Amino acid sequence: ELARQVLGGRVGARSVAFLSSVTAALGDAGEAQALVLAELTARGDADPAARALLHVQAQFAKVLAGQIPARADVEALARNAAHEDRVTGAGRLALLGMCMVIGGHTTRAAEPLRAAARLLDGEETTAGSREGGHLLVLAWAEALMGWYDQARAHAERALSGARERGEAHLMAPLLGTLGYILYHMGRPADAHAVSLEARSVAHRIGRDDHVGLADALIAASWARLGRPTLPNGRDGDLVAARTPINALLFAEAALTGGEPGRALAVLLPYEPEPGDLPEVPEPVQVYAAWCYELLAAATLRADDGPHTRVARWAEAAADAAVAVGLPEAAGYAQLAKGHVLAHARRWEPAARCYEEALALLGDGPPGGARARDLARAAAHHAALGPQAGLGELTSREREVADLAGEGLKTKDIAERLRISPRTVDVHLNRIYAKLGVPSRAALVRLLSVSEPPGPGPR
User: 208-244 in b/e burial notation, b at 16+ Cβ within 10 A?
Assistant: ebbbbbbbbbbbbbbbbeebbebeeeeebebeebebb
The CATH class, in words, for 2-179 is: mainly alpha
Confidence band for 241, pLDDT divided at 50, 70 and 90? very low
| Rounded CA separation 91/52 (Å) | 11
| Phi, psi dihedral angles at 152 (to 5 degrees) | -65, -45
Confidence band for 243, pLDDT divided at 50, 70 and 90? confident
| Rounded CA separation 450/452 (Å) | 6
Alpha helices in 344-390 (DSSP H): 347-361, 366-384
Confidence band for 152, pLDDT divided at 50, 70 and 90? very high
| Rounded CA separation 115/428 (Å) | 49
Confidence band for 122, pLDDT divided at 50, 70 and 90? confident
More confident of the two residues 250 and 430: 250
* pLDDT reading at 386 higher than 90: no
Domain locations along the chain: 2-179, 243-357, 385-458
Confidence band for 445, pLDDT divided at 50, 70 and 90? confident
Q: 444 CB contacts (<8 Å, ≥6 apart)?
A: 404, 405, 407
Counted residue by residue, the chain has a size of: 458
More confident of the two residues 92 and 259: 92
| Rounded CA separation 434/119 (Å) | 51
Cα torsion through 98, 103, 105, 110, rounded to 10: 10
pLDDT at 223: 92
Nearest to 75 by CA among 37, 109, 30: 109
Measured N-to-C along each axis, helices 129-145 and 148-165 cross at an angle, to the nearest 10 degrees, of 160
Model confidence over 330-363: pLDDT tens digits? 999 999 999 988 877 788 899 999 999 999 999 8
pLDDT at 128: 65
| Rounded CA separation 456/453 (Å) | 8
Model confidence over 307-320: pLDDT tens digits? 678 888 999 999 99
* pLDDT reading at 453 higher than 50: no
What proportion of the chain, given as a percentage, has pLDDT over 90? 52
pTM of the model: 0.82
Geometric angle at alpha carbon 139, from 325 and 201, rounded to 5° = 135
DSSP tag of 391 = G
Confidence band for 12, pLDDT divided at 50, 70 and 90? confident
pLDDT at 351: 92
* pLDDT reading at 13 higher than 80: yes
Model confidence over 275-299: pLDDT tens digits? 555 666 656 889 999 999 999 998 8
What proportion of the chain, given as a percentage, has pLDDT over 70? 85
| Rounded CA separation 160/165 (Å) | 9
Range with lowest mean pLDDT among 1-15, 203-217, 254-268, 360-374: 1-15
In DSSP notation, 122-178 reads: T--SPP-HHHHHHHHHHHHHHHHHT-HHHHHHHHHHHHHHHHHHT-HHHHHHHHHHH
pLDDT at 449: 59
Model confidence over 183-210: pLDDT tens digits? 999 999 999 999 999 999 999 988 988 9
Q: Which amino acid is at 264?
A: L
Mean pLDDT value of segment 420-428? 89
Instruction: Name the CATH code of domain 385-458 (choices 1.10.3720.10, 2.40.10.340, 1.10.10.10, 2.60.120.10).
Output: 1.10.10.10
| Rounded CA separation 241/83 (Å) | 43
Max distance between CA atoms of the chain, in angstroms, equals: 89
pLDDT at 431: 86
* CA atoms within a 13 Å half-sphere pointing along the CA-CB vector of 361: 30
Nearest to 59 by CA among 86, 93, 104: 93
